[in-house]
Structure 1
Amino acid sequence: MAKTRACGTKRKDSEPHEGPSKRFRPSFTDTITVLVGEDEATFTIHKDTVCQRSTYFRSACKPEWQDGQADKSIPLPEVQPGTFKLYAHWAYTGEIDLGVIDVKQEDGDSADEARSVVESEKQREDWYQRAKRLMELHVAADFLGDDKLKDRTIDTLTSLVGHRRRMHGIAKLLPYVWNETSSGSGLRVLLMDYVMTLHAGATFIKSIQQRLPAEFFTDLALAQLALYPGGRKDRMPLPARRRAYYDNR
């Protein structure tokens, strides 16, 4: 996904993608074959079902894109089979159901769990898997040109994050998001806000800094500078603050 947009995720220049144009008229009769992932897992799906959702598929199903092909299959190596299974379920139902790929989905913490000081490793792993799948689905939705699904994944993620005191697994998720999205992505903004409000955030960043791309630190610096613009005057290097710069202060 090499092409970078002003906002969103990174796409290949060669991939067909367009915005909404003339009115789409579905027939719900034809099916298409999608070859997903590097191993080309085969999915058969109704063409009009995905074309109503995805500008990518709307373009890929145009005759001019399919001329000269021995078959009419659509390769989609950028998306993993599990993520596309979630996408297919969304295309047909308009719902995100992580249970489709056997990822435990919870509405929130129970009262007892919320009071618990230490969560079990199983709970941590369940949370991480849900967050990871939702972020992968968000990236896929942007690549496929499905803005409604992008919004829905953000809704689900904010609810998921809001039910936890700490974002378990974030050390493994931040590099993925910053490598797969571009400046201005709502998913980046969501995670950056969480990092900046996380208790002991500075210690947290130091612990994972080797795994983070340079662009993360640019975004972090800009986000910090945007906070309390009036308060920055208190940091002016005036003579009255000279002792703050002594090495042996």
Structure 2
Amino acid sequence: MAQPGQPAAKRRKLDLFEEVVVVVGSQEHRFTVPKCFLTKTSDFFKTCLNGTWKEAKDKTVKLPKQEPGIFAVYLQWLYTGDLILCEATPEDLKDKPHEDRQSAALEHYGLLVPLAILADSLADSMLSNVVVDAILRVKYNMHFAPGPDQVRRAYGNLPENSPLKRLLVDMYLYDVGVAFVERIKASLPNDFVFDLMIAAKNVASSSGKGSKSYCQEKCRYHVHTDNVPKCT
């Protein structure tokens, strides 16, 4: 139901008969998916499955660099609107012992960072924003930031202007701390350490103390387009 003052959502009949085969990973795992779902939020699929592209004619798209398990999570989100990563949610785990929360947080991040990379490759801004929100939920409830492995993965696969990169820098700046980063910087990408030092310098030259308010300002790390307006 539309909220007061908002236009009613348009009704749309889905064409569930036109299907596309998506071949994922080096082992060529095949997913048969209704085209209407693939083109719902991904500009990549909208482009290659419409018009005269080879993929549109063959009704086959190959994603050799992506992981089948991550693509399966993406499909579930497309079908249901829910991003389901693990059996327990971050809220379920927030009161668990330190070691359990750390392990669960790393498990969540191990799925979320590849999902962010998939969202970037598929030009799916809506998924990118959902992933950012999920990362902030994990951080807020479990009190652990992504580890060096996931920072390396993000910095090795996302573009320079990636909102997720900005979020990782802020997480380490305000929660992990520059002093601890100095001790583990050999395990972190040089570009990330450089971005972190620049951010720390900017904070020091402005108000002096900085803030952890990034947890409440998630829109700063969202991608906004004509189809994905700014948060209200």
TM interval, short-chain normalised: 0.7 to 0.9
The match for 1:224 is 200
The match for 1:158 is 136
Structure 1 or 2, whichever has the larger Rg, is: 1
| Whole-Å separation in 1 of the counterparts to 2:207 and 2:80 | 49
| Whole-Å separation in 1 of the counterparts to 2:108 and 2:163 | 18
Give the conservation status (yes or no) of the 8 Å contact 2:50–2:56: no
Q: Show structure 1 runs of 5+ residues with no match.
A: 1-23, 233-249
CA offset digits 1:138-196 (Å, max 9, x no partner): 121121111111111111111110123333x5122111111111223111111111111
The match for 2:170 is 193
Q: Show structure 2 runs of 5+ residues with no match.
A: 1-11, 209-232
1:164-203 matches, cutoff 5 A: 164-167=142-145, 170-199=147-176, 201-203=177-179
Normalised to the residue count of structure 1, the TM-score between the two structures is 0.70
Give the conservation status (yes or no) of the 8 Å contact 2:25–2:64: yes
* Highest RCO, 1 vs 2 (Cα 8 Å, sep ≥ 6): 1
| Whole-Å separation in 2 of the counterparts to 1:145 and 1:204 | 35
Count of residue pairs the alignment pairs up: 197
The match for 2:4 is none
Give the conservation status (yes or no) of the 8 Å contact 1:26–1:52: no
1:56-67 matches, cutoff 5 A: 56-66=44-54
The match for 1:4 is none
Give the conservation status (yes or no) of the 8 Å contact 1:108–1:160: no
Alpha-carbon distance change, 159 to 74 in structure 1, aligned in 2, over 3 angstroms: same
The match for 1:90 is 77
Normalised to the residue count of structure 2, the TM-score between the two structures is 0.75
Give the conservation status (yes or no) of the 8 Å contact 1:104–1:130: no
Once the two structures are TM-superposed, the CA of residue 26 in structure 1 deviates from its matched residue by 5.4
After superposition, the CA RMSD in angstroms is: 2.6
CA offset digits 1:77-132 (Å, max 9, x no partner): 12110110011111111210114xxx643325454x3xx5xx23x54322211112
- The amino acid of 1:96's aligned partner reads L
| Whole-Å separation in 2 of the counterparts to 1:146 and 1:77 | 18
| Whole-Å separation in 1 of the counterparts to 2:82 and 2:19 | 21
For residue 49 of structure 1, the aligned residue among 30, 33, 37 is: 37
